[in-house]
């Protein structure tokens, strides 16, 4: 393949995509009115989890307001707007959609007024029975404003909230099936809930009198807070000016946190369920070097997510690590698509090989996953065009053979390269001199040896019934 004939490429198009990130804050003294500004910084740290729309719902202790729009956090909020918003409590959301179209009405948080006030909700995950529950509710007269399955949860809670939040949330959690990490805001409380399998992450933090909730702990660092612990699978946390109350009364299940969070989605400076993301990726690289070795001169990582595993591979193998590929970080969504005559060069605008480090060398290239196979093929072509003698591809995850039904944007199974091809066939199609993957057992080893993760997209065995098997 000659990359010169390829259209300008976007590396993220050949990755599984996380759908959302959530953040929440409540000041138990009700004195600090910086909750919106803090949420802004928290959402900034979570921007990698969704770039299509974002929003913040905030409360001054008496009313809940929502500001949201299409665009990045930096595009939707200005300093003046945030100062005007204020708030002693807030929740925030960054969104990339699969369920519900990409349009403003589906941006979150979404809110509903009920007899006693307002509830706003921000949700990361996918409900596998949302359509069924929605239809039942519509038959009962409920009118939905959005296409989003998050509104199903919101309406379930609003319907029975007069019997108390504790009961309403518990009943909603019993009615919905799927993956969810939810933060909710009322005039005077912040609530967090994680699905009974703990598929999507949610953690609890603190900064002085302010309690924090977030999809990832890196957002606590961004606001000067600290991680207390992960919200447990099935746990509901209610935070008011009286402090924290934890409820865990849903059915007990086997914890099945998404293993792809550790491989690719989460930021390397986050910690999830007591596992440091960077260290897990580095260990995966060490295991690859030990169990899938190769004779080579240089190890390099596909920017950016392949780099920690490449460092681990280099350390365990003794083969020096070098930067082999350089990514241009300044290409935004407004980048002008190349004209026909520019296409030959355009592929090098986004990513280029570092000739001085790869020419005349045998390279081990580490990437985190193969989805359609287009990225690996392009990176190998770039390295070979820059003079690499051999490129051996090592992947720090097992073969992705099945789609995800739990809040991750995945292609159809037929588009997953590993679903229909052997490793040898994939190696040939990608143009690698050899190709090896981490096995499922090796992935578990890299995550500390405890089998408590969803591996559905690798094994086809999911923690709960999927729309296909229901
Ligand atoms: S199927 Fe894959 S991407 Fe989806 S939750 Fe499970 S491990 Fe994560």
pLDDT at 216: 98
**Which domains are present in the chain?**
17-253 (3.60.20.10), 276-459 (3.40.50.2020)
For 81, other C-beta atoms within 10 Å of its C-beta total 13
CA atoms in the 13 A half-sphere facing the CB of 385: 18
CA-nearest residue for atom 4, ligand 1, is: 404
| Cα–ligand 1 centroid distance for 230 (angstroms) | 19
Closest residue to atom 5 of ligand 1, CA basis: 258
Residue identifier of the C-alpha nearest atom 8 of ligand 1 = 258
Residue 384 C-alpha to ligand 1 middle, in angstroms? 33
d(CA 332, CA 391): 30
For residue 227, how far is its CA from the centre of ligand 1 (angstroms)?
A: 24
Clarify whether 20 is annotated catalytic.
yes
Give residue ranges with CB within 6 A of ligand 1: 16, 199, 258-260, 404, 406, 408, 454-457
- Ligand 1, closest atom to CA 259? 7
Pocket test for ligand 1, best of 199, 215, 260 (most atoms within 8 A of CB): 260
| Closest ligand 1 atom number to CA of residue 16 | 3
Query: What is the chain's pLDDT, residue by residue, as a tens digit (470 residues)?
Result: 343 334 444 556 677 776 799 999 999 999 989 999 999 999 999 999 999 999 999 999 999 999 999 999 999 999 999 999 999 999 999 998 655 566 788 899 999 998 889 999 999 998 888 888 888 888 888 888 888 888 899 889 888 887 888 888 888 888 998 999 999 999 999 999 999 999 999 999 999 999 999 999 999 999 999 999 999 999 999 999 999 999 987 776 788 999 999 999 999 999 998 999 999 999 999 999 999 999 999 999 999 889 999 999 999 999 999 999 998 877 665 555 556 566 555 566 778 999 999 999 999 999 999 998 888 899 999 999 999 999 999 999 999 999 998 878 777 888 899 998 999 999 999 999 999 999 999 999 999 988 899 999 999 999 987 765 44
CB-based contact 382:341 (threshold 8 Å) = no
Residue-level pLDDT at 1: 38
| Ligand 1 centroid distance, CA of 156 (Å) | 26
- List 20, 218, 454, 457, catalytic entry: 20
- Measured at the CA of 125, the angle between CA 122 and CA 128, to 5 degrees, comes to 125
Measured on CA atoms in the order 304, 308, 309, 311, is the torsion positive or negative? positive
Give the pLDDT confidence of 453-467 residue by residue, as tens digits: 999 999 999 998 776
Tell me, what's the pLDDT at 470?
A: 42
Q: What is the pLDDT of residues 345-385, one digit of tens each?
A: 556 677 899 999 999 999 999 999 999 888 889 999 999 99
Give the per-residue pLDDT at 464: 87
**Whole-model pTM above 0.75?**
yes
Position 467 scores a pLDDT of 64
Beta strands in 286-440 (DSSP E): 298-301, 325-327, 351-353, 362-367, 390-395, 408-409, 434-437
What is the 453 CA–ligand 1 centroid distance (Å)? 9
How high is the pLDDT of residue 3?
Answer: 38
């Amino acid at each position: 393949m000659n990359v010169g004939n390829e259209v300008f490429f976007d590396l993220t198009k050949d990755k599984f995509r996380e759908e959302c990130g959530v953040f929440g804050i409540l000041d138990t003294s009700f004195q600090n009115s910086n909750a919106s500004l803090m949420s802004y910084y928290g959402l900034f740290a979570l921007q990698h989890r969704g770039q299509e729309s974002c929003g913040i719902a905030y409360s001054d202790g008496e009313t809940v307001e929502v500001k949201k729009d299409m665009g990045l956090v930096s595009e939707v909020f200005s300093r003046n707007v945030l100062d005007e918003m204020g708030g002693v409590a807030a929740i925030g959301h960054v969104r990339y959609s699969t369920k519900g179209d990409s349009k403003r009405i589906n941006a979150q948080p979404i809110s509903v007024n009920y007899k006693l006030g307002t509830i706003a909700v921000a949700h990361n995950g996918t409900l596998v029975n949302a359509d069924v529950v929605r239809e039942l509710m519509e038959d009962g007269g409920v009118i939905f404003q959005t296409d989003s399955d998050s509104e199903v949860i919101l309406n379930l809670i609003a319907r029975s909230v007069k019997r108390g939040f504790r009961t309403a949330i518990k009943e909603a959690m019993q009615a919905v099936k799927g993956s969810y990490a939810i933060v909710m805001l009322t005039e005077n409380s912040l609530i967090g809930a994680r699905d009974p399998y703990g598929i999507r992450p949610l953690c609890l933090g603190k900064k002085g009198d302010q309690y924090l909730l977030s999809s990832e702990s890196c957002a606590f660092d961004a606001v000067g807070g600290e991680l207390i612990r992960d919200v447990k699978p099935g746990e509901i946390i209610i935070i008011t000016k009286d402090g924290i109350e934890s409820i865990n009364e849903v059915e007990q299940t086997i914890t099945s946190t998404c293993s792809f969070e550790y491989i690719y989605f989460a930021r390397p400076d986050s910690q999830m369920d007591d596992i440091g993301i960077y260290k897990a990726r580095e260990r995966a690289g060490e295991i690859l070097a030990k169990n899938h070795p190769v004779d080579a001169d240089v190890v390099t990582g596909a920017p950016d997510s392949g780099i920690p595993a490449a460092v681990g591979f280099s350390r365990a193998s003794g083969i020096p690590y070098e930067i082999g590929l350089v990514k241009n970080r300044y290409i935004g969504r407004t980048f002008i698509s190349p004209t026909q005559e520019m296409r030959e060069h355009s592929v090098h605008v986004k990513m280029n090989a570092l000739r001085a480090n790869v020419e005349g060398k045998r390279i081990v290239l580490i990437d985190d996953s193969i989805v359609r196979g287009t990225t690996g093929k392009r990176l190998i072509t770039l390295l070979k065009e820059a003079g690499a003698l051999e490129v051996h591809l090592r992947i720090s995850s097992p073969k992705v053979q099945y789609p995800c039904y739990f809040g991750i944007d995945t292609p159809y199974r037929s588009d997953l390269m590993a679903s229909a091809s052997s490793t040898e066939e994939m190696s040939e199609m990608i143009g690698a001199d050899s190709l090896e993957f981490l096995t499922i057992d090796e992935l578990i080893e890299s995550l500390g040896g405890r089998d408590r993760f969803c591996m559905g997209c690798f094994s086809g065995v999911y923690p709960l019934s999927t729309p296909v098997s229901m």
